[in-house]
Structure 1
Amino acid sequence: MGLLRNTRSPTSRAVSPLATCLAAIAIVGAAPLAAQEGEVPSSLEELIPDSAVDNPDAWAEQGTDGESVPEADALSELEAESPISEVPDMSVAWPEDVELEPLEPLEPEDDIEFVQLLEDAPQIAFDEADIEELSDTLVLGFPQKEPPFSERDDFVDRFEALSTIEELDDGEENVAQLAARAKKDQELLDTLLRVYGYYDGEIIRTIGTREAGDDATDQRPRGRFDVIPGPRYTYGAIDLGDLDTSVDAVTLRKSFGIEIGDYLQSDTILTERFNLDRALGENGYAFAEIDEPELLIDHERVEGDLTVPVSPNGKYVFGDVVSSDDEFLSSRHLATIARFDQGDVYKRSLEFDLRSAIIATGLVSTVSVEAREVVPPAGDEPGVVAMDVTMERAKLRTISGAIGYGSEEGARIQASWEHRNFFPSEGSLRLRGILGTQEQLAGVTFRKNNFRGRDKVLTVDAYASSVDTVAYDADTIALTGTYERTSTLLFQKPLAWGVGAEVLATDERNRVVDGIARPRQTYFIASLFGRATIDTSDSLLDPTRGFRLTGFLGPETSRTQGEQYYYLRNQVDASYYQSIGEKNVIAGRVRFASIQGAELVGIAPSRRLYAGGGGSVRGYGYQAIGPKNEFLEPTGGRSLVEVSLEGRIGTGLFDGALSVVPFIDAGSVSTGTSPDFQSIKFGAGLGVRYATGFGPLRLDVGIPLNPEPDDSAVGVYISIGQAF
């Protein structure tokens, strides 16, 4: 009806809706006849007779041949505006004399060759494309032969790591999922091409199916991407801002490893920007600024012009270190911690190092270190910066305790109180005590960290103890002082050393056996000692590669029962660690110790050499290996040799945290100053390690392979850290 309204002449009269509808029906019914007779009206208005316009209701009662339409009476009773409830059934016969020729299927052309249309266009041959099948559902094709895709391997690895199709679990994908993810992967491939400098690349995406079995209905979807990288762009102009105005322009420019003509790659731009920033910070430019790089691509030249806005802002040297809380951590003390002196060229790494060292003291909760200009640069003369240290105090008092039981130590309660800055700066005071079935102790310790140098520690320790072991019973009062350069978890050092002195008085005897008390003997001992450690391992608590070598020398004198004895205690420890694969480690240890210059009777039992236990020969009791008297009491010796070998094998369980450790140990103690190996003992067993954030938890179960009658059948050892 709308069509009729739009096409009737301006002078035509209004037609009722019902009449118009019926007229249209009549026209539709008559159209085939007119078409068959070859009479085609010149306009749509000619199809409506004047009688239909003059008296539409009377005209509607007529049929196509002038006869009345069936049920016309019923139709005439309808209101003019009433809708037609039922549309009359109509059918149009298909012309029988019209025949359509069947479509012939197109045959694929053989030997399609993809030719080089332009002189500089890539040569492409899809039928010879190199294929990379990343999974059952993901395939990459590389049809471009020339120029070659130089970064293809790295490109594939990165795409495989980021692909959304690759995340689909095998067997769970469908065509809808694959199509949705394929669109994202195509965008990813486009982005990766630009990362590697291919700005005219093209990705052709194909989603199809592959046969997954003999059943024809068992087909699974597969996504394929044909990667046509096109030519690789190179760097055109390179603009580094004001870098040429710096004093060290030549050196700094060399640190930015991008030259004109190099291939474009976004990763390289970011890497070299970082290298330039680091070079500025390590060569005195405390306030240097580098804005975000800009890359202008010229498709006609197949080049990109790189701009990196650089503002060196002058060169500086270090000045004073200024503390915000001088009574707590003084400026003088912080200058001692710093690894730079006044007048040294500013280095950003040393600024960060000072901040880390202050955090390592454990005395601050927050700290910031900032460079502040004191003297500006003048010509070729550098300026001076002060290092302002702003900090907040942490809680300084600590109370700790432990309760435990061990087959070697019995029941044991240990407690301590410490104030970590009782004597500023970094002078701590610690009170400690032990109450146990085999040991009792009370002691006080003064410790001065970073004393006259970074990571150098002065310690003075006074204690009184009573120890009752398998080998001896000793009541001791001692005073010890050490000065050492330590290796810590934050700052592991290739060389650590320590020197010290010790004086003590000890009243000792062997244990009471069968009600018979062994004679007690008092010793007055004075000692000087020194030790040094060379450490190339990669961890203090859980090494996987490298070695450690530690030497100890301690000249000592002892007076007992009116006799004066002089002797030299010495010990060498060496350990080696070798990784095998990603999760396995072979570790070995050797220890040699001796006491030269005095008879065994002149050496206090607590100063003699013993073997056995969790840090020695596992499977045997603590101090259970060595010479024994007629009561089977260990008497200790003057020489010792220990050897250990273990394999730390990763299991992959608990996200790789659990490993198993088979081990074998051997040890010998002799009364002479050189080992004789006449009573060497062997132990073997199996352990487990569970890696934590603070080091591995260790559980070892060892058995003695050639035990004495009084040795236990098994030894169990639990601790933190590896056995060595």
Structure 2
Amino acid sequence: MAAQQAEPSLEDLIPDSAVENPVEWAQQGEPGGQPAEPVVEVDPSSPLADLPAIDVPWPDDLELPQLAPLEPDDSIQFADMEDATNPRPALVDADVVRVTDELVLAFPPDDAAFPQQVEFAERFGNLSTIAELDTDDDNVAQLAARAKADQALLDTMMRVYGYYDAQVVRSVASIQPGDDNAGSRPEVRFDIIPGARYRFGAIELGELNTAVDAAALRRAFEIQPGDFMSSDKIVEEQFNLDTALGEFGYPFAAIDAPELLVDHARTEGDLTLAVRPNGKYVFGAVNSNLPRFLSGQHLSSIARFDAGDVYQRSLELDLRRAIVSTGLVSSVTVTPREVAAPVGDQPGTVALDVELTRAKLRTIAGALGYGTGEGFRAEASWEHRNLFPPEGSLRVRGIAGTQEQLLGVTFRKNNFGGRDKVLTVDAFASTIDSDAFDANTVSLIGTYERRSTLLFQKPLSWSVGLEAVATDERPAPLGGVVQPRQTFFVGAIPLFAELDTTDNLLDPKKGFRAGLRLSPEVSRSRGTESFYLRGQFDGSTYLRASEKIVVAGRVRFAAIPGTELDNIAPSRRLYSGGGGSVRGYGYQRIGPRDINGNPTGGRSLVEGAIEARVQTGFFDGALSVVPFLDAGTVSRSVTPDFDTVRFGAGIGVRYNTGFGPLRFDIATPINPGPGDSRIAVYVSLGQAF
């Protein structure tokens, strides 16, 4: 067989004449053929009349190579989106936690492999896209798309817990007719294989060792080499270290963002937290930008620190809260400023510069209330809260009601002589026309007290005062005959103390309160001078029976020993009944009565009440239902005789306004006396007790 000739190269096919003059060669046509057609110049702007036909024959002997099939990758698990029913799980005998009807987490059966299962599953459920968008109409395709986002979330969460080699296997399945679970919704399952939990390696805390209190500060940062890694722990301990720096006297301390270098070979992570203590300091002066409004000296008097005390950030924040609670400012900024730098182990000094913005100081307020037996009551007031700086207010108030009318002027000096101590002088004239008595009274009362406020609820409150009263009174008409008036001049020293362990001033849910009032008094009327003691004990307790139920109870004991009932002005005797006493009865309607059934008051009193405050799901949980039972008795003697104990029961609703609960109670007397109404209604702000 003759040898096959070699194919010519590109250089062999191009003649020399084409290389020397390519244009002339192209016009000659193919070698050995006809001359080429002359080149026709074409106007670029003219359209093509006819497109030339293109005829390319398809080779009959062309054969394309077959593609080799891909080998399956056994590391990937698939659940058929259309007809798979039970894809093979990655974990055998897994500990399965169902997050929602269509979302399942599977953990290793050995709890030691991942002891954070419960916490992890709850946290994942709060962040899951599948759980957030869960509806009854979800199909497999929708779940598959959401499952990708949830898998990325799980990967991130496993690293947060220190499992950097964790694997999360995702499977999505639909239930087919004929299956035991036919009719169920499609389901996403994540099999979590934790792997090894990494530990902290080296811990670098920057310049912390330069601080005077380096050892104590290091103890505040409770992460040691060898501890299990946790991003949550890093954040928590960074906060604890920052708090400790602020409490140990380092107002200018700074902490950079943490850096974690993970070494997979060692299964460890080296943590770097750049800390700069920047010196230790003590408190200096407190300066005000408005010295005639609230002076620096006054602000120092309400601070819970003295000059020379070690700086504490919590005390700085407490001062800011105390200034806000005065109600005289709309904004407060407290800035530490270096006065003297630290020298060696001796701390420096910082002054606190207080930047104040005045609030509106004049207030007009009003209140409306209603109670069966008490009738309507409207109260209005005008107040200037800093007419006598610092914190000296003047308030004018008036009451117009069915039974009471009053006009009064009150001077009040807040933070007088110390933090949260208040001096009050109150002068008023009032008339009261109740079922028990008719009184025209002029009073002058001065008190010095330490009481709880909404911002600063105190475990111990107290007050001491002086009271001068001139009152012209007469009892209720007897047999239709108006009784003669009798004038009483009363001097008293009212004393009060209360222990409070509750968690909220207006709406307590746990704890107790115990208060004692004592008022030694002298009374003079018609030439008779009497000395007696008015005493009263109030106790209440609050127990959270469940997440949505609070059980509350109260008792009251009161007595007036020292003189006969007739020597005591009717307005200063003891009465029971009403919205703050025994509900279901009219105001002051419980107790001894005259022959016409009018209350005469007494010298001893016993009351008790119990109620259940049940939170409902209405208005996002703001509405509560409150069934209650009250009881009370009043006796003419100093010791209760319990001859007649009145009971009242009812139900109320509470609407939580955010400031405090709005109360609406409706009650009925269980064993009413003559003239008692069958229904009583009470409306007010705050709980009954």
Query: Does TM, scored on the shorter chain, surpass 0.5?
Result: yes
Equivalent residue number for residue 563 of structure 1? 528
Per the alignment, in what secondary structure is the counterpart of residue 154 of structure 2? helix
Over 3 Å counting, the alpha-carbon distance change for 1:525 and 1:241 in structure 2 is same
1:617 to 561, 576, 582: 582
Letter in 1 for 2:303: A
Per the alignment, in what secondary structure is the counterpart of residue 233 of structure 2? helix
Task: Supply the distance in 2 between the matched residues of 1:552 and 1:212 (Cα, whole angstroms).
Answer: 77
1:510 to 466, 475, 481: 475
Equivalent residue number for residue 715 of structure 1? 680
| Residue 196 (structure 1) aligned with residue 161 (structure 2) | yes
Equivalent residue number for residue 500 of structure 1? 465
Per the alignment, in what secondary structure is the counterpart of residue 300 of structure 2? helix
Equivalent residue number for residue 96 of structure 1? none
Say which is worse superposed, 402-411 or 612-621, in terms of deviation.
402-411
Equivalent residue number for residue 338 of structure 1? 303
Q: Do 1:502 and 1:527's aligned partners in 2 also have CA atoms closer than 8 Å?
A: yes
Equivalent residue number for residue 159 of structure 1? 124
Equivalent residue number for residue 418 of structure 2? 453
Task: Supply the distance in 2 between the matched residues of 1:151 and 1:405 (Cα, whole angstroms).
Answer: 55
Per the alignment, in what secondary structure is the counterpart of residue 457 of structure 2? coil
Q: CA deviation at 1:562?
A: 0.3
Q: Do 1:197 and 1:265's aligned partners in 2 also have CA atoms closer than 8 Å?
A: yes
1:441 to 402, 406, 414: 406
Letter in 2 for 1:322: N
Per the alignment, in what secondary structure is the counterpart of residue 395 of structure 2? strand
Task: Supply the distance in 2 between the matched residues of 1:212 and 1:653 (Cα, whole angstroms).
Answer: 41
Identity, in percent, stands at 60
Say which is worse superposed, 162-171 or 126-135, in terms of deviation.
126-135
Q: Do 2:374 and 2:586's aligned partners in 1 also have CA atoms closer than 8 Å?
A: no
Per the alignment, in what secondary structure is the counterpart of residue 423 of structure 1? coil
Task: Supply the distance in 1 between the matched residues of 2:386 and 2:509 (Cα, whole angstroms).
Answer: 36
For residues 344-383 of structure 1, the aligned pairs below 5 Å read 344-383=309-348
Q: CA deviation at 1:161?
A: 1.6
Q: Deviations over 1:524-572 (max 9, x none)?
A: 0000021100001111111111100000111000001101000001000
Question: Where does the alignment leave 5 or more consecutive residues of structure 1 unmatched?
Answer: 1-6, 14-52, 56-78, 93-102, 109-123
Equivalent residue number for residue 187 of structure 2? 222
Equivalent residue number for residue 673 of structure 1? 638
Per the alignment, in what secondary structure is the counterpart of residue 210 of structure 1? coil
Q: Do 1:284 and 1:345's aligned partners in 2 also have CA atoms closer than 8 Å?
A: yes
1:317 to 261, 282, 286: 282
Q: CA deviation at 1:206?
A: 1.8
Task: Supply the distance in 1 between the matched residues of 2:614 and 2:367 (Cα, whole angstroms).
Answer: 31
Q: Deviations over 1:408-441 (max 9, x none)?
A: 3344443211100010000000111223342221
Equivalent residue number for residue 216 of structure 2? 251
Equivalent residue number for residue 435 of structure 2? 470
Task: Supply the distance in 2 between the matched residues of 1:576 and 1:404 (Cα, whole angstroms).
Answer: 26
Equivalent residue number for residue 276 of structure 1? 241
Over 3 Å counting, the alpha-carbon distance change for 1:164 and 1:527 in structure 2 is same
Task: Supply the distance in 2 between the matched residues of 1:337 and 1:256 (Cα, whole angstroms).
Answer: 33
Q: Deviations over 1:77-108 (max 9, x none)?
A: xx994558x999x9x9xxxxxxxxxx9xx9x9
Letter in 2 for 1:157: E
Q: Deviations over 1:356-390 (max 9, x none)?
A: 11001010011101111111111111111111111
Over 3 Å counting, the alpha-carbon distance change for 1:213 and 1:593 in structure 2 is farther
Letter in 1 for 2:301: T
2:606 to 634, 641, 656: 641
Equivalent residue number for residue 33 of structure 1? none
Q: CA deviation at 1:406?
A: 4.5
Q: Do 1:143 and 1:227's aligned partners in 2 also have CA atoms closer than 8 Å?
A: yes
Per the alignment, in what secondary structure is the counterpart of residue 355 of structure 1? helix
Task: Supply the distance in 2 between the matched residues of 1:481 and 1:345 (Cα, whole angstroms).
Answer: 38
Equivalent residue number for residue 663 of structure 2? 698
Q: Deviations over 1:299-345 (max 9, x none)?
A: 11111110110111111111111111000001111011100011111
Task: Supply the distance in 1 between the matched residues of 2:660 and 2:177 (Cα, whole angstroms).
Answer: 49
For residues 168-183 of structure 1, the aligned pairs below 5 Å read 168-183=133-148
Letter in 2 for 1:685: G
Q: Do 1:556 and 1:567's aligned partners in 2 also have CA atoms closer than 8 Å?
A: yes
Letter in 2 for 1:275: N
1:430 to 368, 386, 395: 395
Equivalent residue number for residue 416 of structure 1? 381
Equivalent residue number for residue 151 of structure 2? 186
Per the alignment, in what secondary structure is the counterpart of residue 421 of structure 1? coil
Q: Do 1:125 and 1:143's aligned partners in 2 also have CA atoms closer than 8 Å?
A: no
Task: Supply the distance in 2 between the matched residues of 1:212 and 1:155 (Cα, whole angstroms).
Answer: 34
RMSD between superposed Cα atoms in Å: 2.9
| Residue 534 (structure 1) aligned with residue 479 (structure 2) | no
Over 3 Å counting, the alpha-carbon distance change for 1:172 and 1:639 in structure 2 is same
Q: Do 1:619 and 1:684's aligned partners in 2 also have CA atoms closer than 8 Å?
A: yes
Aligned positions, number: 630
Task: Supply the distance in 2 between the matched residues of 1:713 and 1:424 (Cα, whole angstroms).
Answer: 52
Query: Computing the radius of gyration over CA atoms, which structure comes out larger, 1 or 2?
Result: 1
Question: Where does the alignment leave 5 or more consecutive residues of structure 2 unmatched?
Answer: 1-7, 15-31, 35-48, 61-68, 75-88
Q: Do 2:175 and 2:181's aligned partners in 1 also have CA atoms closer than 8 Å?
A: no
Q: Do 2:468 and 2:490's aligned partners in 1 also have CA atoms closer than 8 Å?
A: yes
Over 3 Å counting, the alpha-carbon distance change for 1:256 and 1:614 in structure 2 is same
Per the alignment, in what secondary structure is the counterpart of residue 542 of structure 2? strand
| Residue 546 (structure 1) aligned with residue 546 (structure 2) | no
2:444 to 479, 482, 485: 479
Q: Do 1:439 and 1:467's aligned partners in 2 also have CA atoms closer than 8 Å?
A: yes
Equivalent residue number for residue 597 of structure 2? 632
Higher RCO structure (Cα 8 Å, ≥6 apart) = 2
Over 3 Å counting, the alpha-carbon distance change for 1:705 and 1:323 in structure 2 is same
Per the alignment, in what secondary structure is the counterpart of residue 138 of structure 2? coil
Letter in 2 for 1:156: A
